[in-house]
């Protein structure tokens, strides 16, 4: 309903002076009814009932139908002459995809089975694949990382191949221990910077702090931001409780702080997920943010309405002529 109101309220006329013919049309109809039609000559039939029984009768409600069509045709022609145009919101076919790299942590800690019996890695991969399925128009690639990083799948629209490649990775994929977040961001940035797309994003999922690699996450995030790449970070891990190891609590806080800084520098957002449902929600939020951003950049389309008005007028005129010569024939 809101879209219809936007379209109707946004109608503009290139030649609005033609609309002055509308009251003239109404006045002509009144003159026709009062004078010319009333006084025109006719043919008298000895038995009107015979004509009705022969099929020439019409229900009184519809007897004026051809005449209504006639005047409606005139109105449509006048509206077409005024050159109307209306704004239309972008449709799904107008949507231009964006390029997204997903960086997935495959360090040993991602094997921790604290996601309702699932490991952190399994939950993260399931949520990532659901996210990919919801974005068929986007080119998506996959980077996996632990102490090092590797492009498992370059940017592609073939999400089936991407899914098969994602199924072949697991914690322990690299021999290098640790979590090199900065290196993963650089690897994904190198893939995205060569893209011709105006919209680029990186989704990074990890459960720890940066403790490997030669580049800090902040430095890598600044480089990504220079290429217009937004980074969405997802911390996959349960909140540390007061009775748990204080060193783990400190590591969790440091890891979250790093991810928040990376997201802020690049213009993205940081999410925290303590279970599979939290991961799913994080990816849904990222999906919504990116679609909203893309839609906001797409201008609405302006469509000229006169061809449709003229086509409608021709169709109604043919219908009026056909009905006047058959079911609603008048003699004379």
The model's pTM is 0.59
pLDDT of amino acid 79: 85
**CA–CA gap between residue 271 and residue 26 (Å, rounded):** 64
CB distance 202 to 229 below 8 Å = yes
Give 88-111 pLDDT, tens digit per residue. Answer: 655 544 455 689 999 999 998 888
pLDDT of amino acid 243: 33
pLDDT of amino acid 246: 44
pLDDT of amino acid 239: 53
The residue whose two tokens read 């005449």 is 67
Continuous segment of H or E residues that includes residue 306: helix 306-325
In a 13 Å sphere around the CA of 291, the CA atoms on its Cβ side amount to 15
Give 197-210 pLDDT, tens digit per residue. Answer: 888 999 999 987 88
CB distance 95 to 316 below 8 Å = no
The closest of 108, 79, 81, 105 to 217, measured between CA atoms, is 105
The residue whose two tokens read 């990074």 is 204
Contacts 24+ apart (CB under 8 A), 88-93: 88/7, 88/300, 88/301, 88/302, 88/303, 89/3, 89/6, 89/300, 89/301, 90/295, 90/298, 90/299, 90/300, 90/301
* Below-50 pLDDT ranges, the chain: 92-94, 240-247, 296-299
Contacting residues for 285 by C-beta, under 8 A, at least 6 apart? 269, 271
Give 17-42 pLDDT, tens digit per residue. Answer: 888 888 877 777 667 666 655 555 55
CATH superfamily of 94-297: von Willebrand factor, type A domain (3.40.50.410)
Residues of the chain with CATH 3.40.50.410: 94-297
Burial tier of 268 (Cβ tally within 10 Å: 0-12, 13-18, 19+) = buried
């Amino acid at each position: 309903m809101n879209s219809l109101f936007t379209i109707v309220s946004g109608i503009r006329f290139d030649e609005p002076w033609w609309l002055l013919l509308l009251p003239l049309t109404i006045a002509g109809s009144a003159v026709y009814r009062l004078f010319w039609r009333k006084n025109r000559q006719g043919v008298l039939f000895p038995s009107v009932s015979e004509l009705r029984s022969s099929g020439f009768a019409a229900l009184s409600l519809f007897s004026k139908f051809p005449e209504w069509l006639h005047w409606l045709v005139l109105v449509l022609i006048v509206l077409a002459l005024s050159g109307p145009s209306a704004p239309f919101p972008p449709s799904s076919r107008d949507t231009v995809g964006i390029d997204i790299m997903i960086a997935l942590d495959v360090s040993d800690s991602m094997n921790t089975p604290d996601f309702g019996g699932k490991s952190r890695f399994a939950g993260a991969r399931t949520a990532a694949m659901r996210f990919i399925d919801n974005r068929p128009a986007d080119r998506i690639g996959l980077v996996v990382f632990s102490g090092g990083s590797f492009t498992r799948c370059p940017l592609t629209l073939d999400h089936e191949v991407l899914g098969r490649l994602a199924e072949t990775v697991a914690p322990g994929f690299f021999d290098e221990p640790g979590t090199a977040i900065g290196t993963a961001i650089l690897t994904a940035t190198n893939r995205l910077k060569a893209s011709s797309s105006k919209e680029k994003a990186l989704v990074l999922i990890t459960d720890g702090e940066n403790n490997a690699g030669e580049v800090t996450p902040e430095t890598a995030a600044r480089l990504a931001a220079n290429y217009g790449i937004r980074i969405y970070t997802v911390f996959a891990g349960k909140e540390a409780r007061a009775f748990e190891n204080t060193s783990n609590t400190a590591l969790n806080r440091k890891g979250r702080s790093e991810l928040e800084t990376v997201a802020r520098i690049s213009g993205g957002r940081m999410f925290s997920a303590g279970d599979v449902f939290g991961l799913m929600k994080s990816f849904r939020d990222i999906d919504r943010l990116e679609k909203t951003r893309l839609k906001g950049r797409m201008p609405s389309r302006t469509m000229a309405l006169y061809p449709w008005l003229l086509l409608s007028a021709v169709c109604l005129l043919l219908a009026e002529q056909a009905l006047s010569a058959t079911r609603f024939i008048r003699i004379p």
